[in-house]
Every structure is written in structure tokens, then in C-alpha cells.
């Protein structure tokens, strides 16, 4: 897939009826060529979570191949002919991207789709929120109420709730037997968070130690979450640094605290993973994609 999308894994799953021309056409119509592919299939409901990046729709553009691909994904459901598209961004952000030649799917061109915005903020808002959270934690406070007000003013918990709400909506839609397409702007930050959490909610395998490792490999490492850039593993401009994976672990912790008996691991495992994201002791989280790890002769 390097020819088509260098940030995607080598093995992808798409509807069997799709031709190379349709796939290539759809990839050219999606940001970073990240066309819709399978992320998770729920065996009981026979519904699938797919993921992609935003379409390059602008104000008026449409793509026949992209429409055919999404239509095939919708028809692959055993229970519903409709496809639910979850744009994880706030609507105002998506509209701004639309004015720049990107944006989101117009249901006039995709009449078989139902659209939903989940309102998760971008990396710049998340970075600022983390800074305010750290300030709240490490500052001296006169009282517990003062501390909690500072935490609340950071907006961190509001962002965590938005991510959890998006994942809950996706998982509920899957349980109803309807296929879902999840995307944000480029499909490697909010999309990874949402797809991974929804998979965690739907499948107890991902709540085991081994399964959780596979979940991270599936929705973050293989699908090109930019660990090197977001975690600033190399010195340089910090404008693209963001706590995306840390937020994912926080979301998992929130669920773990409520349903500890549903998990094979506890918070110590999450802390261990978090430390290794930044220490890179094992190299698992080096670079921004599978292709970069192979190019630099490190493939885990």
C-alpha cells in the first residue's frame, strides 16, 4: 500500500466487490490518500467499524469512486442498508476545512448515509488543555475545591467525555447492526481514539492483556498514529505535539475504574505503557507509521 497510502498497514480489508480503479479513485479523494477500510467487525451484530480521513469535497466536489466504496460498505451490513458516518470533529472545524477544499460527506451525494458530528477538539486545543492540567496538578492550592476548579478549567475532563461519548455512540450503532465509518481530518488521531475505544467496548478480547496490546497495534501503530510527532521523540517544533494516546489511556482508565472486573489488567499496566511511549525503551512507538519503521530498519 506504499504506492497508495504510506501511512496505512500493508494488509487492508475492503468489500470484495471493489475494483482497483474504485480504490484508487477513492484514495485520491481522501486526505493523505487514507480511503475507507475495515477497522473492526462485530461477529454477533454482523456490523463493521470502518475508518478513513476526510474527503477532499470542498464546497461542491464529489467522487464517483468514493460514493461506490461507501455504498458497498453500507450494503455489506446484514441488517441495515444505511451507513452511519461519524465525523469526530466539531462541526465548525469541519466547515472550516470544507472552505479550504476538504471537509465532509454531503448526504446529497451519499443518500444512503446518516451523518453525525461528535465534537472532539483538535490537537492544538488538546495540547493547551494538557498544559493547563499540569499547571493545576503542580500548583499550590488553598483547598481541594480550588484544585478541582483548576482541573475543571483545564477542559481535560470535558475532552475525555467527548471521546468516550463518540466511542459509545459508535459501539451502540454497531450493536444495532449498522455499519459505521469514522474519520476526523487525516484519520490518525481522533479516529484512532474512537475506533480503538469502540472496539474495547464491543469485544472482551481487547480487555485482556494480550488483546489490549493487539488493539494498540491495530488502531494506533498499524494505522499510522504519529507517535514520533505527537510525543516529540525528536527535538524540533512542538506545534504538532499532542497528548492523543495519553487521552486514549485516560479514557480506558475511566472505564476500568467503573468496571474493574471486566478487564484482565489494572491501571499499573496503563502506566507502564504510558511510560514506554515516551521512553521508547523497546522501540515499539518509534516513528510515525509502519512504513517509516521498515524504512529505518526497525519493525516491531
Give the model confidence (pLDDT) of 183-213 as tens digits.
Answer: 999 999 999 999 999 999 999 999 999 999 9
**139 is in which domain, residue-wise?**
20-295
* Mean pLDDT across the chain: 94
Task: Let me know if residue 15 belongs to a domain.
Answer: no
Number of domains in the chain: 1
- C-alpha distances out from residue 33 to 18, 42, 82, Å: 16, 26, 24
Task: Let me know if residue 25 belongs to a domain.
Answer: yes
Answer whether residue 178 shows pLDDT above 50: yes
Answer whether residue 38 shows pLDDT above 90: yes
Task: Let me know if residue 103 belongs to a domain.
Answer: yes
Task: Let me know if residue 300 belongs to a domain.
Answer: no
280 — pLDDT class (breaks 50, 70, 90) = confident
- Strand boundaries in the chain, DSSP class E: 37-42, 47-52, 83-87, 113-117, 179-183
- Of residues 223, 220, 235, 238, the one with CA closest to residue 274: 220
Place of cell 486545543: 125
Answer whether residue 82 shows pLDDT above 70: yes
Percent of the chain at pLDDT > 70 equals 97
Cβ atoms 156, 134 nearer than 8 A:
no
Angle at 244 between CA 239 and CA 247, to 5 degrees: 135
Q: Calculate mean pLDDT across residues 235-244.
A: 88
In sequence order, the β-bridge partners of residue 38 are 50
- Of residues 195, 184, 186, the one with CA closest to residue 91: 184
Global pTM value: 0.94
Task: Let me know if residue 200 belongs to a domain.
Answer: yes
Answer whether residue 300 shows pLDDT above 50: no
Task: Let me know if residue 184 belongs to a domain.
Answer: yes
Angle at 136 between CA 138 and CA 156, to 5 degrees: 130
Q: Calculate mean pLDDT across residues 45-72.
A: 96
Q: What is the CATH number of the domain that holds 131?
A: 3.90.190.10
Catalytic center residues: 184
- Collapsing DSSP to helix, strand or coil, 77 comes out as coil
Task: Let me know if residue 13 belongs to a domain.
Answer: no
Task: Let me know if residue 138 belongs to a domain.
Answer: yes
* Angle between helix 64-75 and 20-28 (nearest 10): 110
Amino acid at each position: 500500500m506504499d504506492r497508495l497510502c504510506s501511512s496505512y498497514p500493508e494488509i487492508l480489508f475492503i468489500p470484495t466487490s471493489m475494483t482497483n480503479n474504485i480504490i484508487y479513485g477513492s484514495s485520491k479523494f481522501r486526505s493523505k490518500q487514507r480511503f475507507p477500510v475495515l477497522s473492526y467487525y462485530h461477529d454477533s451484530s454482523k456490523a463493521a467499524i470502518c475508518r478513513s480521513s476526510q474527503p477532499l469535497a470542498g464546497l461542491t466536489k464529489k467522487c464517483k469512486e468514493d460514493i461506490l466504496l461507501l455504498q458497498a460498505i453500507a450494503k455489506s451490513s446484514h441488517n441495515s442498508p444505511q451507513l452511519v458516518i461519524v465525523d469526530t470533529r466539531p462541526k465548525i472545524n469541519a466547515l472550516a476545512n470544507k472552505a479550504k477544499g476538504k471537509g465532509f460527506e454531503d448526504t446529497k451525494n451519499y443518500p444512503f448515509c446518516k451523518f453525525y458530528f461528535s465534537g472532539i477538539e483538535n490537537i492544538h486545543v488538546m495540547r493547551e488543555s494538557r498544559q493547563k492540567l499540569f499547571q493545576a496538578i503542580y500548583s499550590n492550592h488553598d483547598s481541594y475545591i480550588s484544585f478541582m476548579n483548576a482541573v475543571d478549567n483545564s477542559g481535560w475532563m470535558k475532552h475525555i467525555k467527548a471521546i468516550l461519548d463518540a466511542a459509545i455512540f459508535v459501539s451502540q450503532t454497531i450493536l444495532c447492526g449498522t455499519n459505521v465509518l469514522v474519520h476526523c481530518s487525516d484519520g490518525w488521531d481522533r479516529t484512532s481514539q474512537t475506533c480503538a475505544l469502540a472496539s474495547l467496548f464491543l469485544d472482551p478480547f481487547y480487555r485482556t492483556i494480550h488483546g489490549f496490546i493487539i488493539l494498540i497495534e491495530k488502531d494506533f501503530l498499524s494505522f499510522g498514529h504519529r507517535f514520533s510527532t505527537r510525543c516529540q521523540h525528536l527535538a524540533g517544533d512542538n506545534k504538532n505535539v499532542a497528548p492523543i494516546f495519553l487521552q486514549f489511556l485516560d479514557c480506558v482508565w475511566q472505564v476500568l475504574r467503573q468496571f474493574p472486573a471486566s478487564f484482565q489488567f489494572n491501571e499499573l499496566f496503563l502506566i507502564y505503557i504510558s511510560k514506554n511511549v515516551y521512553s521508547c525503551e523497546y522501540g515499539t512507538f518509534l516513528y510515525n507509521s509502519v512504513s517509516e519503521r521498515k524504512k529505518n530498519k526497525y519493525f516491531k
